[in-house]
Amino acid sequence: MISEDRQGRLSVKSFVQVIAFVLLTALDAHAATGGGEDHGKELIDFAWRVVNMIVLVGFLYWLLAQKIKEFFIGRREGIKTALEQAVIARQEAEQKYKEYNDKLEKATEEIAGISDMIKTQGLAEKERILEDARKAAQKMKEDTQARLEQEFKQAGNLLRAEAVKLSVEMAEELLKRNIKASDHDEMVKDYMDKVVSKH
């Protein structure tokens, strides 16, 4: 990555090269026209205009370059933070899924233990207890599935809400930068015309 000092030197060097190119082009154009006295005044006038333009462009660059850079750095940080939060939310959802899956496996193991105990007590009692165990396992499975779906839904809603929030913020910022008072007045006028024409 280029250091700020070196980047500043490169910018100044590029700026000086542009000035030299413009002045040499102007001199070449003057020489091509024959270089009479009337052309000398035009050349001086043109040179002053070129100098004014270069000063204006240089001033605008000096004034706005840092702010534009800061805007994009801030935007990058905002997106980075949102992505980090989304990753954390996903990891939390995966952790909860793992916990519920472990509980389900533990419940399955307990059911197997209950099944062994039932074998010793008799077939009739065994069938009744197995049926109860199956129902309990199914209920636990359904509850776990419902909880997992709810957690994933919450995580998805959180991600969507964050994405919508970022989109709205970015749209507001773009509108604030791009819409002028005249644009706003024009939009209000168009809307009023449409309302009047419908009624």
Percent of the chain topping pLDDT 90: 11
Q: Tell me: pLDDT of 112 over 90.
A: no
Domain that holds residue 94: 4-177
pLDDT band, residue 121 (cuts 50/70/90)? low
- Predicted TM-score of the model (pTM): 0.30
Whether 78 is covered by a domain: the verdict is yes
Whether 198 is covered by a domain: the verdict is no
Cα dihedral 192, 195, 198, 199 sign = negative
Angle at 57 between CA 55 and CA 62, to 5 degrees: 90
Look at the chain and report how many structural domains it folds into. Answer: 1
Whether 115 is covered by a domain: the verdict is yes
* Rounded distance between C-alpha atoms, residue 149 and residue 97, angstroms: 9
Name which residue leads in pLDDT, 123 or 177: 177
Reported as a single tens digit per residue, the pLDDT across 123-171 is 777 777 789 989 988 998 899 888 989 988 998 898 898 888 988 888 8
Reported as a single tens digit per residue, the pLDDT across 178-191 is 777 777 788 888 88
